[in-house]
Amino acid sequence: RGKGTFKKIVRAAEILVKSKVPVGISFTAFKLNYKEFPEVVELGKKIGVDIVWTDRLVPWGRGKKIKSLMLDPLQLKKYYQSVVLLSRNLERTKSKTRIPINRPLFFLAERNSEPHFCLAGKTLINIMPNGDVFPCRRMPIKVGNVTEKNLIEIWNNSSFFKKLRNPPTNKICSKCKYFEQCQGGERCISWAYFGNPFLPDPQCWKAFKQLSSLKS
């Protein structure tokens, strides 16, 4: 994002690490870059960051223009399997740098792994500078505003939050033995892809093989 920006960011991260400030690297995976994740992990290790975080492209905002670059479900499966191996290798070598894999769908990439559901509206919210409250920064559905209502009131009484905490069963996920723990995958991606956060995660390889076969 500008000439010389990358070097400046790396230098800033090095200064923060030296000053014992927690530092993380965030990586958004899509078709053009997902194979570069191991290099990003190596960079994170070299700098000494605490975490290297990987997430998926959400086809919302500017992401709408590159919706076709989302990883297909089977690509995501292979990608997540490679991320799990990298994460376990860091643990095994007692590296300071970690790769969090407590995210939706990761459990499908590793046998006997504990399923994780989307935290939006359950243990996670996003408050914007103007006070608007969203369930997640990547799912900007306004449920209230803290300048107009008490945050606890919004948290306890939002009908959308209540629905996120007890999501309706859809026909596809209802057949899956993991539904109660997984609850349909990443809500923001279902919302951005289908326009409905309660439909199955479009990148779940247990449910789908190709994004192109889905109604979007």
Dump pLDDT digits (tens) for 180-189: 899 999 999 9
- Domain edges within the chain: 5-101, 126-213
pLDDT band per the 50, 70, 90 thresholds, residue 64: very high
Residues 98-152: pLDDT tens digits?
999 999 999 999 988 888 999 999 999 999 999 999 999 999 999 999 999 999 9
Residues 77-95: pLDDT tens digits?
999 999 999 999 999 999 9
Residue 176 CA, chain-centre distance (Å), reads 21
Task: Give the pLDDT score at 215.
Answer: 57
Buried b (16+ CB within 10 A) or exposed e, 60-99: beebeeebeebbbbebbbebbeebbebbeebeeeeeebbb
- pTM for the model stands at 0.91
How large a percentage of the chain has pLDDT more than 90?
88
